Amino acid sequence: MGLESCVWAGSQPEDVINAVFGHVKDGYKFDESEPIAQGTEHYISDPNLSDQAFCLVYVVAADTISFTDEKLIDKLKIIRRGISDRDIPQVIVMTKIDEACPVVNKNLRKVYHSKKIKEKMQMCSDQVGVPMCNIFPVKNYHDEIDINDDVDVLILKAMDQIVYIANERLDRSSY
């Protein structure tokens, strides 16, 4: 379930925050109308280190992204504040970059030269509060039959950085 702009639609910010901190038991079915509460059977009061997340990844489609909906922005800000208070790093994986920019569609290697992709990354950074260095543009496999090294490099680089960022956070929490 993703975030929706309507107050009681999609994932609730409190549920996202609780899931990151490991307070949600496996198998819990999230409820759009009511976030999980302390003291319920699916709430873990004292989660183990292995129950917690060490990085929050937002997945955003570059071709349809717009932050004009104030209610959605408010939800993102609530999550950001709740996560940042405990020093959890956040990243954005920006998908469908080929559909957002004709130059990148023709040549994926131009992704970091594209003004349009940079503008979309900057918009995400400004609205969500994630630093530009933690925004990773990738192309989706959607109608290809064969693998493509240029697509794989972007995806693998994003995954490599996410693992690195999460591992740094894990190392800090171990002390």
pLDDT in tens, 151-165: 999 999 999 999 999
Q: Where are the domains of the chain?
A: 1-52, 54-76+88-174
Over residues 92-104, the mean pLDDT reads: 95
Is residue 3's pLDDT more than 80? no
Is residue 69's pLDDT more than 80? no
Query: From CA 155, how far away is CA 57, in angstroms rounded?
Result: 14
Closest CA to 154 of 166, 141, 137, 142: 137
Could you tell me the CA-to-CA distances from 165 to 13, 68, 117, 152, 170 in Å, in that order? Answer: 22, 29, 23, 20, 9
Whole-number percent of the chain with pLDDT over 70: 91
Strands of the chain (E only): list them: 56-61, 90-95, 135-137
Note the pLDDT of residue 174: 65
**pLDDT mean across residues, the chain:** 88
Note the pLDDT of residue 6: 57
Which uninterrupted H or E stretch holds 116?
helix 115-128
Q: How confident is the model at residue 4 (pLDDT cuts 50, 70, 90)?
A: low
pTM: 0.88
Over residues 22-46, the mean pLDDT reads: 89
Across-strand partners of 57? 91
Is residue 16's pLDDT more than 80? yes
| Cβ(43)–Cβ(18) below 8 Å | yes
Rank 29-33, 82-86, 113-117, 127-131 by mean pLDDT and report only the highest.
113-117
